[in-house]
Chain A
Amino acid sequence: MADWSEQHVRRLFWRAGFGATAEEAGVWAQRGRRATLDHVVDGPVEGRKLRGPAPRVDRRGLDPVNEWGDDVLWWLDQMLRTNYPLVERMTLFWHDHFATSDQDAPLMLRQNRMLRGHALGSFPALLRDVTHDPAMQLFLSLADSSKGAPNENYARELMELFTLGSGYGERDIRETARALTGFRSNWKDGRFGGIAFDREQHDGGVKRIFGRAGRFGVDDVIALVCDHPRHAPFLVAKLWSYFIAEPPSRETVRGLAATYRRSGLSIKPVVRAILEHPMLYRRLDAPDMVKWPVVYVAGAMRASRTFVTAGYPTWLLASMGQQLFHPPSVAGWDWGAAWLSSNSMKQRFTFGNHLIENGPAKVEKGSVKVTIGARGHYALAHAAVGSPQVSTHTREVLTHLAAGWFHDIPASWRAKAGWRAESLQRTLRHLLLTCPESQLC
Chain B
Amino acid sequence: MPRSVQKGCDDFRQTSGAARARWLAPRLTRRQLVATGLGASFAIWADRALPFSRVLEAAEAEAAAAPRAPVLVTVFLPGGCDLLDTLVPVGQYGRYADLRPGTKVADPPLLGTTGLAVHPSLAEGLNGGVKGLFDAGKIGFLPGIDYANPDLSHFHSRHFWETGLVTERAAPGWLGRWLDHHGSSANPLQGLTLDSTLSPLLATASAPVAALDSPDDVALDVWGVGGLQQRQTMAAWDRLATPRGRGEGPQAAYASARLAKQVADRLAPYATKDGVDPLAPTVAYPQDDDLGRRLSRLAALIAQPLGVRVAAISASGQFDTHDDQPADLASGLSSVSQSLAAFQADLEARGVADRVVTLVWSEFGRRPQGNESHGSDHGAGGVAWVQGTRAAPGILTDYPSLTSFDRDDNFKVTVDFRKVYASLIEGWLGTDAGEVIPHAGTYGRLALTR
Report which A residues bind B (CB closer than 8 A).
99-104, 107, 138-141, 149, 151-154, 156-157, 160-161, 165-166, 187, 189-192, 233-234, 237-238, 241, 245-246, 283, 286-290, 318-321, 327-347, 349, 352-353, 356-357, 391, 393-394, 397-398, 400-401, 404-405, 408, 420, 422-424, 426-427, 430-431, 435-437, 439-440
Q: How far is the CB of B202 from chain A (nearest CB, A)?
A: 10
Known A165-B23, A333-B19: A431·B240 in contact at CB below 8 Å: yes
Q: State the CA gap A192–B225 with chains docked (Å).
A: 51
Q: How far is the CB of B333 from chain A (nearest CB, A)?
A: 20
The reply to whether A337 and B15 form a contact with Cβ atoms under 8 Å apart is no
Q: Assess whether B439 is interfacial by the CB under 8 Å rule.
A: no
Q: State the CA gap A233–B24 with chains docked (Å).
A: 12
Known A342-B212, A346-B264: A337·B42 in contact at CB below 8 Å: yes
Known A336-B252, A337-B252: A346·B218 in contact at CB below 8 Å: yes
Q: State the CA gap A204–B372 with chains docked (Å).
A: 22
The reply to whether B195 and A343 form a contact with Cβ atoms under 8 Å apart is yes
The reply to whether B188 and A160 form a contact with Cβ atoms under 8 Å apart is no
The reply to whether A138 and B8 form a contact with Cβ atoms under 8 Å apart is yes
The reply to whether B22 and A331 form a contact with Cβ atoms under 8 Å apart is yes
The reply to whether A437 and B25 form a contact with Cβ atoms under 8 Å apart is no
Neighbouring A residues of B196 by C-beta, 8 Å? 318-321, 341, 343-344, 347
Q: Which of A103, A329, A330 contacts B5 (CB 8 A)?
A: A103
Least CB separation from B38: chain A residue: A337
Q: How far is the CB of A109 from chain B (nearest CB, A)?
A: 13
Q: State the CA gap A359–B17 with chains docked (Å).
A: 37
Neighbouring B residues of A405 by C-beta, 8 Å? 229, 232
A-B contact pairs, 7 of them (CB 8 A): A160-B24, A337-B252, A338-B31, A342-B211, A346-B217, A357-B223, A404-B232
Q: State the CA gap A252–B373 with chains docked (Å).
A: 47
Q: How far is the CB of A410 from chain B (nearest CB, A)?
A: 15
Q: How far is the CB of A403 from chain B (nearest CB, A)?
A: 10
Neighbouring B residues of A408 by C-beta, 8 Å? 228
Q: Assess whether B401 is interfacial by the CB under 8 Å rule.
A: no
Q: State the CA gap A437–B253 with chains docked (Å).
A: 7
Known A160-B20, A344-B256: A286·B210 in contact at CB below 8 Å: no
Q: How far is the CB of B109 from chain A (nearest CB, A)?
A: 32
Q: Assess whether B222 is interfacial by the CB under 8 Å rule.
A: yes
The reply to whether A241 and B31 form a contact with Cβ atoms under 8 Å apart is yes
Least CB separation from A246: chain B residue: B247
The reply to whether A343 and B240 form a contact with Cβ atoms under 8 Å apart is no
Least CB separation from A352: chain B residue: B222
Q: A334-B34, A338-B198, A401-B232 are in contact. List 10 more A-B contacts (CB 8 A).
A: A107-B5, A156-B10, A187-B2, A234-B23, A287-B249, A327-B13, A329-B12, A333-B16, A336-B249, A339-B252
Neighbouring A residues of B19 by C-beta, 8 Å? 328-329, 331-334
Q: State the CA gap A339–B225 with chains docked (Å).
A: 28
The reply to whether A343 and B222 form a contact with Cβ atoms under 8 Å apart is no
The reply to whether A427 and B229 form a contact with Cβ atoms under 8 Å apart is yes
Q: State the CA gap A407–B161 with chains docked (Å).
A: 56
Q: Assess whether B4 is interfacial by the CB under 8 Å rule.
A: yes
Interface string of B34-70 (1 = CB under 8 A from A): 1100110010000000000000000000000000000
The reply to whether A349 and B220 form a contact with Cβ atoms under 8 Å apart is yes
Neighbouring B residues of A191 by C-beta, 8 Å? 4
Neighbouring B residues of A287 by C-beta, 8 Å? 245, 249-250
The reply to whether A328 and B13 form a contact with Cβ atoms under 8 Å apart is yes
Q: Assess whether B403 is interfacial by the CB under 8 Å rule.
A: no
Q: Which of B220, B246, B259, B372 contacts A149 (CB 8 A)?
A: B372
The reply to whether A330 and B250 form a contact with Cβ atoms under 8 Å apart is no
Q: How far is the CB of A318 from chain B (nearest CB, A)?
A: 7
Neighbouring A residues of B250 by C-beta, 8 Å? 286-288, 440
The reply to whether B247 and A288 form a contact with Cβ atoms under 8 Å apart is yes
Neighbouring B residues of A404 by C-beta, 8 Å? 232
The reply to whether A161 and B20 form a contact with Cβ atoms under 8 Å apart is yes
The reply to whether A340 and B256 form a contact with Cβ atoms under 8 Å apart is yes
Least CB separation from A397: chain B residue: B239
Q: How far is the CB of A258 from chain B (nearest CB, A)?
A: 18
Query: Number of residues in B with C-beta < 8 Å to the partner?
Result: 84
The reply to whether A436 and B155 form a contact with Cβ atoms under 8 Å apart is no
Interface string of B393-422 (1 = CB under 8 A from A): 000000000000000000000000000000
The reply to whether A153 and B11 form a contact with Cβ atoms under 8 Å apart is yes
Q: State the CA gap A397–B241 with chains docked (Å).
A: 11
The reply to whether B13 and A340 form a contact with Cβ atoms under 8 Å apart is no
Q: Which of B195, B220, B240 contacts A437 (CB 8 A)?
A: B240
Known A290-B252, A331-B16: A344·B7 in contact at CB below 8 Å: no
Q: State the CA gap A344–B196 with chains docked (Å).
A: 6
Q: Assess whether B342 is interfacial by the CB under 8 Å rule.
A: no
Neighbouring B residues of A166 by C-beta, 8 Å? 24-26
Least CB separation from A332: chain B residue: B19
Q: State the CA gap A345–B220 with chains docked (Å).
A: 10
Least CB separation from B208: chain A residue: A342
Q: State the CA gap A347–B256 with chains docked (Å).
A: 11
Q: Assess whether B324 is interfacial by the CB under 8 Å rule.
A: no
Q: Which of A140, A320, A427, A439 contacts B233 (CB 8 A)?
A: A427
The reply to whether A153 and B10 form a contact with Cβ atoms under 8 Å apart is yes
Q: How far is the CB of A140 from chain B (nearest CB, A)?
A: 6
Q: How far is the CB of B215 from chain A (nearest CB, A)?
A: 11
Q: State the CA gap A346–B9 with chains docked (Å).
A: 32
The reply to whether B13 and A288 form a contact with Cβ atoms under 8 Å apart is no
Q: State the CA gap A165–B372 with chains docked (Å).
A: 30
Q: How far is the CB of B312 from chain A (nearest CB, A)?
A: 12
Least CB separation from A139: chain B residue: B8
Least CB separation from A160: chain B residue: B20
Neighbouring A residues of B30 by C-beta, 8 Å? 334-335, 338
Q: How far is the CB of B52 from chain A (nearest CB, A)?
A: 13
Q: How far is the CB of B330 from chain A (nearest CB, A)?
A: 19
Neighbouring B residues of A107 by C-beta, 8 Å? 5
Q: How far is the CB of B43 from chain A (nearest CB, A)?
A: 10
Q: State the CA gap A394–B39 with chains docked (Å).
A: 23
Least CB separation from A290: chain B residue: B249
The reply to whether A157 and B11 form a contact with Cβ atoms under 8 Å apart is yes
Q: How far is the CB of B28 from chain A (nearest CB, A)?
A: 11
The reply to whether A426 and B256 form a contact with Cβ atoms under 8 Å apart is no
Least CB separation from A96: chain B residue: B19
Q: Assess whether B251 is interfacial by the CB under 8 Å rule.
A: yes
The reply to whether B236 and A398 form a contact with Cβ atoms under 8 Å apart is yes
Q: Assess whether B257 is interfacial by the CB under 8 Å rule.
A: yes
Q: Which of A327, A357, A393 contacts B244 (CB 8 A)?
A: A393
Least CB separation from A235: chain B residue: B23
The reply to whether A426 and B222 form a contact with Cβ atoms under 8 Å apart is yes
Q: Which of B197, B222, B235 contacts A321 (CB 8 A)?
A: B197
Which 8 A/B pairs are nearest by Cβ-Cβ distance? A153-B10, A139-B8, A337-B252, A331-B19, A190-B2, A329-B13, A341-B211, A342-B259
Q: How far is the CB of A295 from chain B (nearest CB, A)?
A: 13
Q: Which of A288, A329, A426, A427 contacts B249 (CB 8 A)?
A: A288
The reply to whether A343 and B257 form a contact with Cβ atoms under 8 Å apart is no
The reply to whether B246 and A288 form a contact with Cβ atoms under 8 Å apart is yes
Q: How far is the CB of A396 from chain B (nearest CB, A)?
A: 9
Least CB separation from A335: chain B residue: B31
Neighbouring B residues of A398 by C-beta, 8 Å? 236
Neighbouring A residues of B212 by C-beta, 8 Å? 342-343, 346
The reply to whether B1 and A353 form a contact with Cβ atoms under 8 Å apart is no
The reply to whether B16 and A334 form a contact with Cβ atoms under 8 Å apart is yes
Least CB separation from B235: chain A residue: A401
Q: Which of A283, A338, A400, A440 contacts B34 (CB 8 A)?
A: A338
Neighbouring A residues of B237 by C-beta, 8 Å? 431, 435
Q: State the CA gap A152–B1 with chains docked (Å).
A: 21
The reply to whether B248 and A401 form a contact with Cβ atoms under 8 Å apart is no
Q: Which of A103, A152, A246, A430 contacts B10 (CB 8 A)?
A: A152
Neighbouring B residues of A347 by C-beta, 8 Å? 196, 213
Q: Assess whether B112 is interfacial by the CB under 8 Å rule.
A: no
The reply to whether A435 and B257 form a contact with Cβ atoms under 8 Å apart is yes
